[in-house]
Structure 1
Amino acid sequence: MMLNKKGLAAAVAAGASVLLLATGCTAGGGEGGGDVIKIGVMATSEGNLAFGMGEAKAAIEAAMAPYGGTADGGEVAGKTLEIIYAGTDGTTASAQTQVKKLVENDGVDIVFGPVSGDEGETVVQYALTVPEVTFVNGSASPVGMTLEGAENFFRFHGDSAMWMGGLGTYAVEEKGYDSVYLLAEDYSFPYDNAGGFFSEFCAAGGSISGASWVPVGTTDYATIISQIPADTDAVYVGLGGADAASFLSQAVTNGVAKPLIGGSIAVDTTALSGDANIASAAIGTITGGPVPGAGYDNPVWAEFVDAYLAAPSAEFPSPSIFSILYYNSFESLLLGLEAVDGDLSDGHAAFREALGSLEWDSPTGPISMDENRQAIVDNFLIEVAEGEDGSLVQQNISEATGVKQGTTVYDRFESCDDL
């Protein structure tokens, strides 16, 4: 089954199968025979990415606004859809607890989420044990998630290695960087995100001048900053959320004079909208990821930005990487439900066929699916600049279209020889 959608308003014209959200209660657990479809939403509400829950709800609110729905409930083609939220702290233990609660206690039909990479790997392993439940990823992006063979798991955005496509070559050929120091958090998402950059950077002739893998939640970067070799050309910053903001602030106070290369969440709106005076460190930073910068000419993106800003739960002055990934994923879920009139019978067979063959024009470009239920997407190269009002903004450098997933799963590395 193939489904095309152009623009946020297109679903409104879907006629009698228009999707509305409201609350309800009935048995879930993938049986598909009742009048209620339960969706369990996993998102971070504690820890370094505590804003994840607000961004997940804002994405759902933006997706549901054209249908007159909210983040909490409505109807899908005559069936009631109930959303149950489960907050996590970004760790595997928390994710395991919450996903089991949603499935085994709350009886959800569909699990939507989670946010972080380690959580995602845990959720995929659990998905393999409950084939009666359908899983739609939120923003978790380790490469291996869609290579595990879970036929009930779907990801409607790129993985974290895909997000770096083109940036390594750009750093060598356009910026003239020959050596880069690696600073990143020590878990699965930065492994793949940094691996995607450095594999391309090293292949283009660059070298790694040193590496520091730090725990999530690190607050003092002074010692690491002092270890950056004087002759390195740039510093790769694979940090996110509060950690990224802390590093950028300390880079200013400690006089880091090196240009920065950001991981995909290092200089998005969650870091740039902080109170710290980080402009001298952030301006000129290049990065890659699924969020377009200023100059991106797509009316569907403009519609999404307006819908995000109108969402009651929106956390930031512009969409974050988490809100757009959750939006594209939740909208894909809704399009799949529309395509089958909410029919989850026969082990969700028709619903999963619709998800696996989905094609639509999202705010960030065309989305289609490969044989592993992994999205083929567009990617953006970004540079941080100062806006006319003095705020920090992201400017589009270039776009890569139709980016497909590779099969290399990265781990910690210290040099180009490790890749």
Structure 2
Amino acid sequence: MIAAPTRPWLILAGLALGVTVTNGFARFAYGLLLPAMKSEMGWNYAQAGWLNTANALGYIAGAVLTMGLIRRVRPSVLFAFGLVTTTAALLATGLVTALWWQTLWRILAGVFGAMSFSTAGALAAQLFHDDPRRNALAIALLFGSGGGLGIVLAGATLPVLLGIWGYAAWPWGWVLIGALSLASLPLGLWAAGQLRPPRQAGQTAPALPLRRMLGELAGYAGFGLGYIVYLTFLSAWMTEQEAGPGFIALIWVILGSCIFVSPILWRPVLARFASGVPLTLILTGIAIGSALPVVVPGGAALILSATIFGLCVFMPPGAITSFSRQNLPPDSWGAAISFFTVVFAVAQTIGPYGAGLIGDRFGDIGVSLLAAAGILLVGAALALLQRPLAGN
């Protein structure tokens, strides 16, 4: 039996700050800095996409490593270690501008970010474990508020910094992101220390029923393939449409704010369904948000796109965490979420580089946004095939 922790909401806030660092900063701040880095380095879209593919390759390694360690090392230790090392990698990204070093830091941010992110869900699943509705809210808040805060902070500062100091100031953007990550460490590390599930020493975790989870796994793979295109290339696409730094900042703040409040929207859905329905609905929303600014050009469409996308994009991790919690025994949660993370990580390696190639081929990164929307809709259809795992 897992003991109920004291001060669960403060613990959740600390875990959410970990998500702020590993996702809001480590993965998505690059999209805000990409136009400046692409211009200053003379990259094409494929080269620009490569750095997020490098980050995704590191994420695969981190997810696989976490799967191997989760039975030997407490999730709280993995979370804390990943949080500290991701922060160090973000600071280092602003210190050396050569592509080789940038690739290394992006890979390391992926390795350590995956370690912290994939254990955050397993840790949050311990909160309110006797209250399904509160547990669903905690899981949704973990991913929504954590990621949303990171995108709001990055979106409100980085375009303005580049607008004032010019594209050559992009290394200082990474230094700023690293400093914000450092400020998140105390509460994040404290939260991890409050959650210490019993080790399963000498025991083997129940085998995951992977064949019966194929719908959810396939849907999550579609999420990994499609969502990253929007967050990688949105600022570059807006820059090509001659959007100013103030409007770019506004769009990202709207996006992050909607991510922040998205748990309120999705909490009842996550609590009600033990099937693939939540993931299907979420992926459909992400697809609509991705396609909308290309199909209906203009500032109003971009605002609506950021709103819809933001209300959905951080909820797939909450959906698979809730699915695991409702369908699997507690000692399988960490392994299940780690396996989902590996599937997601493999899928998202293709997205940024592939989208960059499509953008170079057509001379328009908007085509890549449409292709990503199509992939997300396929993932939504596959997730709809997922049924509850009866008997658990």
TM-score, normalised with respect to structure 2: 0.28
Larger Rg: 1
Task: Judging by fraction of residues, say which structure has more strand.
Answer: 1
Q: Which has the higher contact order (CA 8 A, sep 6+)?
A: 2
